[in-house]
A and B are shown apart, each in its own frame.
Chain A
């Protein structure tokens, strides 16, 4: 009787399918799992599970449709707190399947057993052999997993009484199969943290310090877009909940399957899916991968981070502006997905997409999922291998924010007390304080110790520690304070008096204590008059944290992506571990940091009331999901630029060119467990993805030139991508010549000499090559050889006279006529002269050069303070018979005497 009421109630309140999971009862410790038989095999190792003693999973007969995919409709978790209740359920004629509910003891994420077992044949194994063994165990072969020929779904003959875990164990232990495991409906964390024209706000792409963050704490997307903005041929599969295809900033980039004719009811491309024009929904097994419930918000946001259409004057931009988005839906109205459907979804995605993106994960591995991932890594992208990004997980931090909504203005006494009762301890039995935020955004952190004037009661000393893991690392805070170690029945209070404006008081802290008994309490005495005006509840309990990497990110074939903040430190929640590849910008995990702006389901649906999330708002997108989508978009750029690149090379460039940011040292391999190889840099990894082709500048030498004679020669460049820009990078060209970016060296040289310069050719600073030239510019105006004619020594120029005066100042020049005087004919090309500086007042030099030519840094006479000094010179004249005198030093009189000339 009891049972009948229960079952009827369940079937009718099930509009949101299996989301009506009962909460585990509180205060009742889970019973130890019966007999230690609750495990399955993964890679030959036992994965232990904890069986629920209060709930089972059931499916009604009338919900079993022929093609229902496990993980979607039909299964319900129901309360069944006694063996008798379970027995009655199993006896019910309306029930088809009764199975156990399990929990991963490390993460608390659930696994629901079903009536299915997944098995893979060994090489050479036959379906007949499998059928025989299965029959002996009361199993039948239901179907091969789509996309495989050697992996099968087996079904229990008696779904009400059979035990899929036991059958899977027995199959494994025969040793006949590659693997065998129960087909669970697995609970995943969707690693978003919705803590609840837009490009200027998209700091994750280009950080100019928005919201007080750190400039350049971004992936350098803008510079990467100089190299490529992506290509529609590069397809990113968003394996997630639904993607809203009609969103204005996604629609243009939604993948259209070229091999499928819409709505003709035929599987035109023979991939096993009928009319899959824009992806597939594996939770409902149909071709509508759009969001279908109020909870399907994650895929639309992730798709936007990876590949929202860029440069379209709409919304923001994805990391890959022009990549295509393939929606592959595995969640519907819940965070549960069946193993068989998820494995098929991954295989499907790899059949059409280059990049697989998953912002979700769990603590437990699955051979069927790994098998699909291995296949994708080997056969995706036409045999080059799919590139797969999965989120590391969001459960690394136990930080919480305690909010006092409205402090009155005034000078108040604040008291934080850690209190222990006289029995059990749990967790770390302490509380770390990361920061306190007073009204008016007055932030107190503990980077420099406990603030002066803060006292402790009694005098147990509170501790100040460098411990980024327990502070607000996303805000780059490395220090925390915590109470002293206390024994049972003790307490310790941290007290301070502070004058504040009216407004909220927020404290970021991480409590790890026996729930309900030990923990911290905040008391505030408004006005510091001796009466307590505010008392918080006891903040206690041990938060569920997980420092390891989640599956599928943990599989070696996939990338594991963590999160960094707009301050360029690891977000506190971002899970780390030996498999972490790198971190990428996302929300920072506290209100001191920003989230990510991206596409959001239109209108009231989604995280935000509008069509986009708001980075500084409660609707911001974030978590390691956003980081993963960003990495997928960057990989899209890499593949667009270098389509043939192998997944291993993608990993190498994304890891190798990450920026070493944050609070942890990087060890000799260039990584650490919380930052991986550092924060992703799109520009540098896209740049490095293509091996740099050597650019050659030709010819090896340049023809010489002459002054006054037009020069024209073209330099050519070969190698690397066009356009190649040439420019002079070392030295300078002969005066009068210019070099165009296309390589044309032209002009009329104005000065003789030997000129050395290097010409560099490069394309977008990506690849370059240079050549050094020595170019001789002969004196083109130089006449034929001349003979010497002698004249009687004669004073041609004297600045002390009226004709060539006055004295020449420092840096002054004077043009001097040397033909037509002293018997020198106008045909003379040079004179034999003696140049004299008269009684200079400081040291300096005089230089003679042909008038109209360029002074080439020479000198003719060096003079010295107070000394009249002369020097011999053969002085070339201009065609007009002139020489120019340049003076450097002091104002000086000068004399030129001549003794001969050349003509």
Chain B
């Protein structure tokens, strides 16, 4: 078998050319762990709901067993209580928001999820999430990390 790093079948975001050169990386699986839930009371990884055309930045490294040395994480991102048809963008914080969509959803969806692998930055709040229209709650479970 060839020992190569492939990110096929996953939406992978590298928002800058610098990050695109980050590799190769090894994968460390985790017991799935809920790290963000905007339905909780207001805090870094809690509320409030993500509004129209706005972004939130969350902390992933240092929580749920994800070490500070990790470069990318394997996530399951779920939206719920959406008020408009919209999409989410997820990218490493501190960089310009890339024009990509990770999850497209409608208000008629009770909840909708997508599994993604995404890089994290070295900021304390290392992962940014953008919502295009309306309000939507965002829930993120982490299933592993790369370093």
Inter-subunit contact B143/A859 (CB<8 Å): no
Query: For residue B25, which residue of chain A has the nearest CB?
Result: A785
- The docked-state distance in angstroms from the alpha carbon of A843 to that of B117 is 26
Q: Determine whether B18 belongs to the interface, using a CB cutoff of 8 Å to chain A.
A: no
Q: Determine whether A864 belongs to the interface, using a CB cutoff of 8 Å to chain B.
A: yes
A749 → chain B, closest Cβ, in Å? 11
Q: Determine whether B101 belongs to the interface, using a CB cutoff of 8 Å to chain A.
A: no
Given the contacts A779-B30, A782-B28, A874-B27, A859 and B65 also touching, CB distance less than 8 Å: no
Contact flags (1/0) for B99-124 with A, using CB distance below 8 Å?
A: 00000000001111111110000000
Interface residues in A832-862 by Cβ distance below 8 A to B read 832, 834, 843, 845, 847-850, 853-854, 856-862
- The docked-state distance in angstroms from the alpha carbon of A675 to that of B109 is 65
Inter-subunit contact B26/A752 (CB<8 Å): no
Query: For residue A856, which residue of chain B has the nearest CB?
Result: B33
Task: Indicate which residue in B27, B80, B116 contacts A787 across the interface (CB closer than 8 Å).
Answer: B27
Task: Indicate which residue in A707, A789, A847, A872 contacts B115 across the interface (CB closer than 8 Å).
Answer: A872
Inter-subunit contact B27/A785 (CB<8 Å): yes
Q: Determine whether B92 belongs to the interface, using a CB cutoff of 8 Å to chain A.
A: no
- The docked-state distance in angstroms from the alpha carbon of A853 to that of B33 is 11
Inter-subunit contact A860/B76 (CB<8 Å): yes
The stretch of B3-11, B48-56, B83-91, B126-134 in contact with A is B3-11
Inter-subunit contact B62/A790 (CB<8 Å): no
> Which chain B positions have C-beta within 8 A of A751?
31
- The docked-state distance in angstroms from the alpha carbon of A787 to that of B78 is 27
Given the contacts A753-B65, A776-B65, A829 and B111 also touching, CB distance less than 8 Å: no
> Which chain B positions have C-beta within 8 A of A856?
31-34
Given the contacts A843-B110, A858-B33, A876 and B144 also touching, CB distance less than 8 Å: yes
Task: Indicate which residue in A848, A850, A858, A871 contacts B34 across the interface (CB closer than 8 Å).
Answer: A858
Q: Determine whether B147 belongs to the interface, using a CB cutoff of 8 Å to chain A.
A: yes
Task: Indicate which residue in A859, A860, A872, A876 contacts B31 across the interface (CB closer than 8 Å).
Answer: A876
Inter-subunit contact B10/A872 (CB<8 Å): yes
- The docked-state distance in angstroms from the alpha carbon of A559 to that of B26 is 79
> Which chain A positions have C-beta within 8 A of B76?
858-860, 871, 873
- The docked-state distance in angstroms from the alpha carbon of A902 to that of B30 is 12
Q: Determine whether A786 belongs to the interface, using a CB cutoff of 8 Å to chain B.
A: yes
Q: Determine whether A250 belongs to the interface, using a CB cutoff of 8 Å to chain B.
A: no
Inter-subunit contact B8/A790 (CB<8 Å): yes
B39 → chain A, closest Cβ, in Å? 12
B107 → chain A, closest Cβ, in Å? 12
- The docked-state distance in angstroms from the alpha carbon of A832 to that of B6 is 11
Inter-subunit contact A875/B31 (CB<8 Å): no
- The docked-state distance in angstroms from the alpha carbon of A875 to that of B141 is 12
Inter-subunit contact B78/A785 (CB<8 Å): no
Inter-subunit contact A779/B5 (CB<8 Å): no
Inter-subunit contact B115/A752 (CB<8 Å): no
Inter-subunit contact B9/A832 (CB<8 Å): yes
Q: Determine whether B74 belongs to the interface, using a CB cutoff of 8 Å to chain A.
A: yes
- The docked-state distance in angstroms from the alpha carbon of A849 to that of B5 is 24
Inter-subunit contact A829/B141 (CB<8 Å): no
Inter-subunit contact B114/A876 (CB<8 Å): no
B55 → chain A, closest Cβ, in Å? 23
- The docked-state distance in angstroms from the alpha carbon of A850 to that of B31 is 6
Inter-subunit contact B29/A902 (CB<8 Å): yes
Given the contacts A777-B65, A782-B65, A899-B8, A830 and B110 also touching, CB distance less than 8 Å: no
Query: For residue B7, which residue of chain A has the nearest CB?
Result: A788
Inter-subunit contact A788/B29 (CB<8 Å): no
Interface residues in B40-81 by Cβ distance below 8 A to A read 62-65, 67, 74, 76, 78, 80
Q: Determine whether B139 belongs to the interface, using a CB cutoff of 8 Å to chain A.
A: yes
> Which chain A positions have C-beta within 8 A of B80?
862
Query: For residue B37, which residue of chain A has the nearest CB?
Result: A857
B8 → chain A, closest Cβ, in Å? 7
Q: Determine whether B1 belongs to the interface, using a CB cutoff of 8 Å to chain A.
A: yes
> Which chain A positions have C-beta within 8 A of B78?
859, 862
- The docked-state distance in angstroms from the alpha carbon of A853 to that of B116 is 23
- The docked-state distance in angstroms from the alpha carbon of A784 to that of B67 is 13
> Which chain B positions have C-beta within 8 A of A830?
27, 29, 144
Q: Determine whether A778 belongs to the interface, using a CB cutoff of 8 Å to chain B.
A: yes
> Which chain A positions have C-beta within 8 A of B26?
784-787
Given the contacts A830-B29, A847-B32, A862 and B112 also touching, CB distance less than 8 Å: yes
Query: For residue A899, which residue of chain B has the nearest CB?
Result: B9
Inter-subunit contact A874/B115 (CB<8 Å): yes
Inter-subunit contact A753/B141 (CB<8 Å): no
Q: Determine whether A338 belongs to the interface, using a CB cutoff of 8 Å to chain B.
A: no
Given the contacts A782-B65, A843-B111, A862-B111, A787 and B29 also touching, CB distance less than 8 Å: no
Inter-subunit contact B29/A860 (CB<8 Å): no
Inter-subunit contact B31/A849 (CB<8 Å): yes
Q: Determine whether A189 belongs to the interface, using a CB cutoff of 8 Å to chain B.
A: no
Given the contacts A779-B65, A788-B27, A872 and B114 also touching, CB distance less than 8 Å: yes
- The docked-state distance in angstroms from the alpha carbon of A74 to that of B29 is 103
> Which chain A positions have C-beta within 8 A of B4?
787-788, 790
- The docked-state distance in angstroms from the alpha carbon of A562 to that of B139 is 64
B80 → chain A, closest Cβ, in Å? 7
Inter-subunit contact A829/B115 (CB<8 Å): no
> Which chain B positions have C-beta within 8 A of A754?
62-64
- The docked-state distance in angstroms from the alpha carbon of A877 to that of B32 is 11
> Which chain B positions have C-beta within 8 A of A859?
76, 78, 113, 139, 141
Interface residues in A740-757 by Cβ distance below 8 A to B read 751-754
Contact flags (1/0) for B133-147 with A, using CB distance below 8 Å?
A: 000000101011011
Inter-subunit contact B27/A786 (CB<8 Å): yes
Task: Indicate which residue in B31, B63, B74, B110 contacts A779 across the interface (CB closer than 8 Å).
Answer: B31
A709 → chain B, closest Cβ, in Å? 13
- The docked-state distance in angstroms from the alpha carbon of A789 to that of B2 is 7
- The docked-state distance in angstroms from the alpha carbon of A784 to that of B64 is 17
- The docked-state distance in angstroms from the alpha carbon of A787 to that of B6 is 9
- The docked-state distance in angstroms from the alpha carbon of A707 to that of B78 is 26
Inter-subunit contact B115/A860 (CB<8 Å): yes
Inter-subunit contact A902/B27 (CB<8 Å): yes
Inter-subunit contact A753/B32 (CB<8 Å): no
Inter-subunit contact A874/B29 (CB<8 Å): yes
Q: Determine whether A299 belongs to the interface, using a CB cutoff of 8 Å to chain B.
A: no
> Which chain A positions have C-beta within 8 A of B1?
789
> Which chain A positions have C-beta within 8 A of B33?
752-753, 856, 858
Task: Indicate which residue in B29, B32, B111 contacts A858 across the interface (CB closer than 8 Å).
Answer: B32
> Which chain A positions have C-beta within 8 A of B114?
871-872
Inter-subunit contact A788/B5 (CB<8 Å): yes
- Most chain A Cβ neighbours within 10 Å, of B33, B34, B62: B33
- The docked-state distance in angstroms from the alpha carbon of A858 to that of B144 is 13
Inter-subunit contact A875/B147 (CB<8 Å): no
> Which chain A positions have C-beta within 8 A of B29?
782-783, 786, 829-830, 874, 876-877, 902
Q: Determine whether A900 belongs to the interface, using a CB cutoff of 8 Å to chain B.
A: yes
- The docked-state distance in angstroms from the alpha carbon of A686 to that of B45 is 45
> Which chain B positions have C-beta within 8 A of A900?
6, 8
- The docked-state distance in angstroms from the alpha carbon of A751 to that of B32 is 10
Task: Indicate which residue in B30, B74, B109 contacts A752 across the interface (CB closer than 8 Å).
Answer: B30
Task: Indicate which residue in B62, B63, B109 contacts A864 across the interface (CB closer than 8 Å).
Answer: B109
Given the contacts A858-B76, A862-B78, A874-B29, A788 and B9 also touching, CB distance less than 8 Å: no
Contact flags (1/0) for A883-900 with B, using CB distance below 8 Å?
A: 000000000000000011
- The docked-state distance in angstroms from the alpha carbon of A754 to that of B35 is 9
Inter-subunit contact A876/B143 (CB<8 Å): yes
Q: Apart from A777-B65, A778-B67, A874-B115, what are 15 other A-B pairs with CB-CB below 8 Å?
A: A752-B64, A753-B33, A754-B64, A783-B29, A785-B25, A787-B5, A788-B5, A788-B6, A789-B3, A858-B141, A859-B139, A861-B113, A862-B111, A864-B111, A902-B29
Chain A residues within 8 Å of B, Cβ to Cβ: 707, 751-754, 776-779, 782-790, 829-830, 832, 834, 843, 845, 847-850, 853-854, 856-862, 864, 869, 871-877, 899-900, 902
10 pairs of A and B residues whose beta carbons are closest in the complex: A785-B26, A872-B115, A862-B111, A876-B29, A858-B141, A830-B29, A858-B32, A752-B65, A843-B110, A873-B115
Ordered by A's residue number, 8 sampled pairs between the chains whose C-beta atoms are within 8 Å are A752-B33, A752-B65, A779-B65, A829-B29, A849-B31, A862-B113, A876-B31, A902-B27
